[in-house]
Amino acid sequence: MSRRDLIRARAAKPQALPQTVLTDVYWSFHEPSQKTRAAFVEAAAEYNAENDGTWEPEQVVIPVAAIRVTINDPGDAVTLRSPSPAGFTVADLLHQLHTMFRRSLAESDHHFFEGLELDDETTPPLYMMTVGS
């Protein structure tokens, strides 16, 4: 991110953070990792088409440059950074979540992505990830 992008992002009017995110996007953390973002987007598009999910990969869903995400314990949260000053798109967010949590959920019965819920609005905001079986 360039200095100009950082200044523009800081000067922009803050947008409200969504309380829930990606609740209509389907994914399994048992799916294999992909070598590129483009390959991941294609795999997620196919998965959502097969499961009647909503897949709009370039839609910005969280309008901030960084968030924290955890499954159970806020103390174990990981920080994700958006590649764009506009915030996280559906594809960027799901791809990063898959990359960060796939190994820890690989053997779990609870491996189906069910969305994110805002838990704490401090900077960076904390989202709890819900996974089901």
62 SS3 class: strand
- In angstroms, rounded to a whole number, what is the distance separating the alpha carbons of residues 127 and 115? 9
Mean pLDDT of the chain: 92
Q: What's the rounded Cα separation, in Å, for the pair 20 and 61?
A: 10
Q: How far is CA 41 from the centre of its chain?
A: 13
57/52 Cα distance (integer angstroms): 15
Q: What is the dihedral of CA 17, 65, 76, 90, to 10 degrees?
A: 70
Provide the strand spans (E) within the chain: 20-21, 27-28, 60-62, 66-70, 78-81, 88-89, 112-120, 126-132
Domain that holds residue 43: 3-132
Number of domains in the chain: 1
pLDDT band for 106, please (50, 70, 90 cuts): confident
Q: How far is CA 27 from the centre of its chain?
A: 11
- Band (53; pLDDT cuts 50, 70, 90): very high
Q: Is 63 exposed, middle or buried (0-12, 13-18, 19+ CB in 10 A)?
A: middle
> Confidence band (pLDDT; 50, 70, 90) for 15?
confident
Average pLDDT over residues 70-76: 90
